[in-house]
Amino acid sequence: MTELPLDTAWKLKPRNPSLSLQDDFRSLDGWTPATVPGTVQWDLQKTGKIEDPFYGLNERNVQWIGEQDWLYSLNFQVDEQDLQAQHLHLDFQGLDTLCTVWLNGKQLLQSENMFVGHSVNVRPFVEKGQNTLHLLFESPLKKGKALEAQHGKRAVWNGNPSRVYIRKAQYHYGWDWGPTLLTTGPWQPIVLRAFEACIEDVHAPVEVSPALDHALIPVQVTLQGNMEGQTLRLSLLDPDGQLVQQQDVPAALKNAVLFKLENPQLWYPNGHGAQPLYTLQVLLTGEEKILSQKELNLGMRRLRVVQEAILGEEGSSFTFEINNQPIFAGGANWIPDDLILGRISDDQYRRRLTQAKDANMNMIRVWGGGIYEADVFYDLCDELGLLVWQDFMFGCGMYPAHPEFQASVRQEAEHQVRRLRNHPSLALWCGNNEDYQIAQSVGAYGPGGDESQFDALVIYEKLLREVCETLNPQTLYWPGSPFGGTDVYGKTVGDRHTWEIWHGPMAPYQEYKNYEGRFVSEFGLMSAPSLALIQQSMPENEWYPESETFVHHTKATGPNGKPDGARRLAVYQAENLRGHRNLEEYVYNTQLIQAEAMRYAYRDFRRRFEGPGKYAVSGALVWQLNDCWPVSSWAIIDSLEIAKPAYYTIKREMAPFSVGLHLEGPLHIWISSSHTQSQQAQIRLTAYTLQGEKTSEDLRDVLILPGRRTDLAPWTVQETPLVYFAELLIEGQIVARSSHFPEPYKYHTFADPELVVEHLENSIKITAQKPVKGLWLDTRHKTDWNDNFIDLQPGETRILEAPNLQGRTLTLRYLGADSAIEVKPQVVQA
C-alpha cells in the first residue's frame, strides 16, 4: 500500500457569489495559501489577514468567515505506478462541515457531517500527471438556518439554535465558556491511497474472566481487496514487547482468531494499579511483502457498571467496577482544548491529560458539545489510566430526527464506535449532554411530559443503542448525561448534573451534600483565569473585572441570554469574602471560592462512597477540566495551561487517602481510602485560636478500611471560633492533611501569619507562625507544583516543589492578606 498525503500546495479563498462556481474556481483572483489539514480561520490568522480572534474584542470582527462560503483547490500529480494499483482511494478523514468535492471536474462527494470520514474509490476519475481537487465549503450558519426554516426552530441552551441541524462541533456556535467561531475547512488529513489489499479495521474485544485468571481475545479483521494467496499474521506482544502468541491464517479463508491468555497482567485506572498495555500486531502479507498493517494497544481489564440497591436508601448505585473492585470515579469533564482544532498538538494533549492524572483523577468525560477526540487522546488515556466516559456529540438541544438526519447520525456513530471501541480506557458510551434536561424543561420529558414532542428520543434510545450494542456490546450504553429515573433531575438513580450551586437557585457551595446524585457527572463553580492570561489576552487599559473586554471574556449568560457570570460570581464572593482591591486580588478571590467549592463537592461526594452495599455516590466529575480560549469559566486549568487553586484542592481530595472534616456541632472526622488493604494509622487533631494559640490536641489510632470511608468519633472542643487541623500519619509520616477555618471567612480577621519564605532552586520553603489559609504561589507561568494553595498551622514548615521554577520571581497571597508578596529567587547558604 502506498499513501500520498495531500498536505501541500493547497490554496483557499472566499467564494465570490457573482461568479459561477466553475468560473470562481478558475479565476486566479483572491487565493491565499492554505494548510491541509486545517481551517480557514487558522490560515487567515497565520497569514495576517485577520487578527487573533482570541485577543481583546477581535472575536466580533471575524464572524463574517462563518457566514460565507469558501473554496479550496489543489493540483497534484499521480504517477504511472500508483495508477497500476488495483485500488485507488481518496480518504477524507474529516471535513468541517458542509463540503462538496470535485476531482477533475467530477463530483466525488457531498459531506454534511464533520464527524464522519470518507474513503472514495477514485480510480474512474484519476488521470496520469496533473489532477485537480476542488472543495466547496458552504456556510454552516446559512445552511442551518435554511434547515430551520424548513423543519422548525428548536429549543437550545447556548449558541444559535440552527446548530442542532448541522453535524458540526456544537461549541463552535458559542457556548457559555467559548467564543463563536464557525470554523471551516478540511480539518483532518486528505490522503490518496493505492493498494492491492488492505486491513480496514481490527476489532479485539478483550474479555477477562470473572476470576481474573485468564483473558479471551477474539480478533476480527476487516479486509478490503484481493485476498487470494495472502496471509494474515496476528501477533500478541506482552507489555514488555515480548511475543507471547502468534497465529497465521490464509486471508481468503479466515479473518478471525482467538487468543487465550493465562494470568494476564491487568490494566487499572490511575490510583488503583498499573496500566500494562499489550500490543496486537496485524500484518497482511502476500508474495513475501507486507501489504498492510495495523497495531492496537490492548488492556486486560474487567469493567462493569453496577447498579444495585443501597442499604437503607432509595434508588440504586451507579458504580464503575474494575477487575471486581468498585471505584470512586473522580475526574473531570473535557472540552476541546482549543477552538482551532488543528492547533492541538500531541504534546499538548499529553500535557493536559497528565495534569488530570497528576490531580489523582481516574475518569474523563468527553462532553457532547465538542468532538470525538483525536486518537492520541484515547491512547494517552490508555497509558495514563484515565477511564473515558464518551458522549455522542449532542448537547443542550432539542435535536431533530428526520430520516436524513438519522442516516447521518448512524454513519457517524458507526464510524466513531469502530474507531474507539478497542481502547481499554473506554468505559461508557453516552447518548448526549443534557438533552433530556432541556426536553423536560420544554415539557417533552419527565413527569407529565409529552414524549411525542421529543423527536430525538429515537436517536438516544434506539439508534445509538443499536449501534453500540451491535459494534461494541462490551461497553455500557447510557442514553444521556444526566439520565436515570423518571425525573432527569432525580438524585437516586443514574447520573446527575448538580447545578443548584452556581446556576438555578445559586445555593451556597457549602451545601453540595444536599445536591448529590448516585454519580455526579457535572458540577462546578466559575473563576477568573490566571493574571498572566488576562494580561496576555486583553489590552492594558482593560485590565479590570468590569471592563468591556473582561466581560466579553466571560461568556456565562442567564435565562434572558444576558451576561451573568460576573453577577453570580459577585454573589458568591459577597457571601464569603471581603471585597477585592485590585485585579490581582479579584483573581485570587474568585479562584479561592472555586477551590473551596470543589473541596466541599469532592469531599462530600466521596464521603458517600461508604463501602460494600452502600455506594451512595460513586463519582464526581468537575465541570470542567480545561478551556479552549482565554476566559473566566468553570475550568480548573486555564488556556495558558496554568492550574488554578481548585486543581490542587481536587488533587488532595482525590488522593488515595483523604481526610474529611465538617464542623456540625462537634467536628466530624472521616477518612476516605481507595487502597485495597486496611491500614493502621494515626490521626493528629489540633485546634488553634485565630491568633494561633493552641487550645487542644488529640492523637488517635485508626484502622482505615479499604476502598471506602472510615469514620472517627466526633471531636468536641469548646471555644469558638477555632481553626482545626488534621494530619493522617502512617509510621510517623504525614500522608494526608485537612483543615477547617471558621466560615464565612468575611466575618473573621485572621492574624498575620508571619511567613518566612525561601526560594530555593526548584522548591519553596515556607514557615508560618500563625494559621494561614489558601496560601497560593503564582509564577505567572505553567508550573507543575507538587502542591499549592495550602493551609499551614503555627510553626509548620512546608516545602513545595516544582521542576520548572527556573529561578522565577513569584507572588504569594493567602486569605486575608492585604497585598500580594513578591518572592525573588535566592541562593540560601547551607
Beta carbon nearer to ligand BMA, 379 or 516: 516
Question: Distance between the two ends of the chain, CA-based, in angstroms?
Answer: 64
Tell me the closest approach of the beta carbon of residue 495 to ligand BMA, in angstroms: 12
Q: Which of 154, 272, 423, 497 binds ligand BMA (CB under 6 A)?
A: 497
**Other C-beta atoms lying within 10 Å of the C-beta of residue 311:** 11
| CB of 181 vs ligand BMA, minimal distance in Å | 16
Least distance between ligand BMA and beta carbon 261 (Å)? 40
Residue 163 belongs to what H/E stretch?
Answer: none
Task: Give me the residue whose beta carbon is nearest to ligand BMA.
Answer: 176
Using the rule CB under 6 A, give the single segment among 148-156, 174-182, 355-363, 810-818 that binds ligand BMA: 174-182
Looking at 70, 102, 137, 177, which residue binds ligand BMA (CB under 6 A)?
Answer: 177
Closest CA to 307 of 484, 473, 474: 484
Residue 188: closest CA among 94, 109, 118, 74: 94
Answer for which of 96, 434, 610, 627 binds ligand BMA (CB under 6 A) is 434
Please state the closest distance from residue 523 (CB atom) to ligand BMA, in A: 9
Question: Which range, of 172-180, 222-230, 510-518, 546-554, touches ligand BMA by CB under 6 A?
Answer: 172-180
Cβ-contact 279, 293 below 8 angstroms? no
Contacts of 657 (CB under 8 A, 6+ apart): 671, 672, 673, 675, 679, 704, 728, 735, 736
For 376, phi and psi rounded to 5 degrees? -60, -30
Residue 522 within binding range of ligand BMA, rule CB under 6 A: yes
**8 A C-beta contact, residue 144 and residue 397:** no
Q: What is the CA radius of gyration of the chain?
A: 28
Please calculate the CA angle 66-67-72 and round it to the nearest 5 degrees. 60
Question: Cα separation of 497 and 482, whole Å?
Answer: 6
* Region at 200 (left for phi over 0; alpha for psi -120 to 50; beta for the rest): alpha
326 versus 369: smaller Cβ distance to ligand BMA = 369
Q: How far from chain centre, in Å, is Cα 214?
A: 32
Contact call for residues 653 and 731 (beta carbons, < 8 A): no
Q: Count of CB atoms within 10 A of residue 589's CB?
A: 24
Provide the minimum distance between the beta carbon of 487 and ligand BMA in the complex, in angstroms, as a whole number: 17
> Is 434 one of the annotated active-site residues of the chain?
yes
Using DSSP's 3-state secondary structure scheme, residue 90 falls into strand
In the complex with ligand BMA, the residue whose CB is nearer, 430 or 817, is 430
From the CB of 428, what's the least distance to ligand BMA, in Å? 16
Cis (ω within 30 of 0) for the bond into 744? yes
Find, among 1, 3, 2, 7, the residue nearest to 76 by Cα: 7
Binders of ligand BMA in range 114-143 (CB under 6 A):
none
Q: Which is nearer to ligand BMA, 186 or 397 (CB)?
A: 397
**Choice between 136 and 396, CB closer to ligand BMA:** 396
Q: Minimum distance from CB of 320 to ligand BMA (Å)?
A: 20
Of positions 194, 232, 364, 396, contacts ligand BMA by CB under 6 A? 396
Q: Which is nearer to ligand BMA, 494 or 771 (CB)?
A: 494
Q: Measured between alpha carbons, how far is 737 from 792 in angstroms, rounded to an integer? A: 10
Residue whose CB is less far from ligand BMA, 176 or 727 = 176
Binding to ligand BMA (CB under 6 A): which residues in 598-627?
623
Per CB under 6 A, the segment of 121-129, 170-178, 305-313, 727-735 that binds ligand BMA is 170-178
Count of other CB atoms within 10 angstroms of residue 574: 12
Q: How far is the CB of 508 from ligand BMA (least distance, A)?
A: 18
Residues contacting residue 181 through CB under 8 Å, at least 6 positions apart: 41, 53, 59, 62, 65, 66, 172, 339, 340
Find the binding residues for ligand BMA in span 628-687 (CB under 6 A): 634
Under DSSP, the state recorded for 170 is G
Q: Candidates 70, 102, 137, 175: give the one binding ligand BMA (CB under 6 A).
A: 175
At 356 the three-state DSSP class reads helix
Q: Which of 434, 542, 585, 596 does the annotation list as catalytic? A: 434
Comparison of 158 and 779: residue with beta carbon closer to ligand BMA:
158
Sheet hosting strand 797-801, strand order edge to edge: 756-759, 763-767, 797-801
Q: Judged by CB under 6 A, which of 176, 338, 516, 627 binds ligand BMA?
A: 176
State how far the Cα of 81 lies from the Cα of 627, in Å rounded to an integer. Answer: 47
CB nearer to ligand BMA: pick between 71 and 366 = 366
Grid cell in block for residue 666 = 462537634
Listed ranges 33-41, 175-183, 579-587, 714-722: which one lies at the site for ligand BMA (CB under 6 A): 175-183
Q: Binding-site residue total for ligand BMA (CB under 6 A)?
A: 10
Site string for ligand BMA, 555-594 (x = CB under 6 A): ----------------------------------------
**Whole-number minimum distance, CB 786 to ligand BMA, in Å?**
30
Catalytic center residues: 434
Binding stretches for ligand BMA (CB under 6 A): 175-177, 396, 433-434, 497, 522, 623, 634
